[in-house]
Amino acid sequence: MEGSIYPILYLAGSLATHRRSRILVQLLDAELAGDLLPEKGMCLMFGQEYQQAKHEKQKKWQEWCKQPGRTLLLIPPFQAGQVGEGVDWSLAFSGDDLKAEKNSVAQMVASEVTFLLQSKFPVFDRTPGYHLNHQWTDYTFNTLFNKRHSGSGVFCATTLPLWSISLMDAGDKLRKWLGRLHEHAGNASESKGGVEDKAVFNILEPQDYSVLSCVYAWQTTTPKALAEKLGSQIVPLFSFDLDWLTTSYNRLEKAGALQKGALTELGLAQLQECPWWGHAQQMKEVS
């Protein structure tokens, strides 16, 4: 996986003092995060701790990983149910026969995985040749990430137990896996002006990029037109009601991504830099 960014790794919350931190420190030279959140890098914390945290604390972490160069990765253990603030992800119990590419990180710990990640709008790495295995061979998910806009950091969750002793001889493989995920966070040295230009996109929700993809592919310039287009499909690609679509169009207009329902140059640029771009192109090709 040549070219991946090897991030500075931090262990946050109770993970920093848990016995499972020893493997991560030994394998990855992970550092312990103090009370002050780091300026950049990748923070790992227990998913269950995030799930059980109060709304204000979850929001604090979400605000932290909005900045480029920052990645928050939730790792097992988790509890069944919603992940929490900022995403529509939920955890469901997995089966006993999870399969992934041979010798991949996912394959090495498959027998220890107890949950699957679910989302109406899953975003995961589809890059050919990286063998990240964010999906199992049955197309269910073990890893998802959320990047609010092209200039933001990323919020991620994986059900792979990265602290497993099964990975003791796979330190380099694991570091590359983490590095590729962190690449989506961008560069913390991005110019202040560039960040400010994109800051308005912080008002958007992840699903708004699905709407942006539809506008690009189908030229549906009104919420009603998009609702009718989705309603005409035998199996709707997305499930949005008209009220929500109206709110989404308003957010996209406010962010400058749409103007009178049409995609703007800024909106197209943001779409091209987000994880939905490849999907949007496929939608346009078959429309």
CATH of the domain at 161: 3.40.50
Q: How many CB atoms lie within 10 A of CB 138?
A: 10
Give 49 or 120, the one with higher predicted confidence: 49
High-pLDDT (> 90) share of the chain, %: 49
Look up tokens 């709407």; give the residue: 211
Same domain? 220 vs 180: no
Residue at 194 is within a domain: no
Q: Kindly tell me if the per-residue pLDDT of 128 is higher than 60.
A: no
The pLDDT assigned to 127 comes to 65
Q: Say yes or no: 160 and 231 in one domain.
A: no
Which structural domain range is residue 160 located in? 9-184
- Give the model confidence (pLDDT) of 212-221 as tens digits: 999 999 999 9
52 is a domain residue: yes
Question: Would you say residue 193 has pLDDT above 70?
Answer: no
Average pLDDT score over the chain: 85
- 27 and 122 share a domain? yes
Decide if pLDDT at 3 tops 70.
Answer: no
Which of 81-90, 109-118, 162-171 has the lowest average pLDDT? Answer: 81-90
pTM over 0.85: no
Within a domain: residue 90? yes
Q: Are residues 138 and 242 in the same domain?
A: no
157 and 105 housed in the same domain: yes
Q: What is the pLDDT of residues 260-282, one digit of tens each?
A: 999 998 888 888 777 677 778 88
Domain match, 171 and 221 both: no
Does 199 fall in a domain? no
Whether 54 shows a pLDDT value over 90: the answer reads yes
Query: Which of 184, 214, 242 is the last residue in one of the domains?
Result: 184
The span from the CA of 99 to the CA of 138, in Å, is 8
Q: Residue 201's pLDDT is what?
A: 63
Determine contact, residues 208/189, Cβ cutoff 8 Å. Answer: no
Task: Pinpoint the alpha helices (H) of the chain.
Answer: 21-28, 47-52, 55-64, 105-109, 171-183, 192-199, 206-218, 223-231, 242-254, 265-273, 277-286
pLDDT tier at 191 (50, 70, 90 boundaries)? very low
In a domain, 119, yes or no: yes
Domain shared by 27 and 127, yes or no: yes
Q: What is residue 215's predicted lDDT score, i.e. its pLDDT?
A: 95
| β-strand pairing of 81-82 with 90-93 | antiparallel
Q: Are 215 and 155 found together in one domain?
A: no
Cα separation of 245 and 240, whole Å? 6
**Residue 177 lies inside a defined structural domain of this protein:** yes
63 and 97 housed in the same domain:
yes
Q: Can you tell me the mean pLDDT for 230-246?
A: 88
State whether 174 and 75 are in the same domain. Answer: yes
* Pairwise pLDDT comparison (107 vs 150), residue with the higher score: 107
**Percent of the chain beyond pLDDT 70?**
89
Statement to judge: residues 170 and 224 lie in one domain: no
Counted domains in the chain: 2
pLDDT band at 35 (very low <50, low <70, confident <90, very high): low
253 and 161 part of one domain: no
Closest CA to 162 of 222, 108, 221: 108
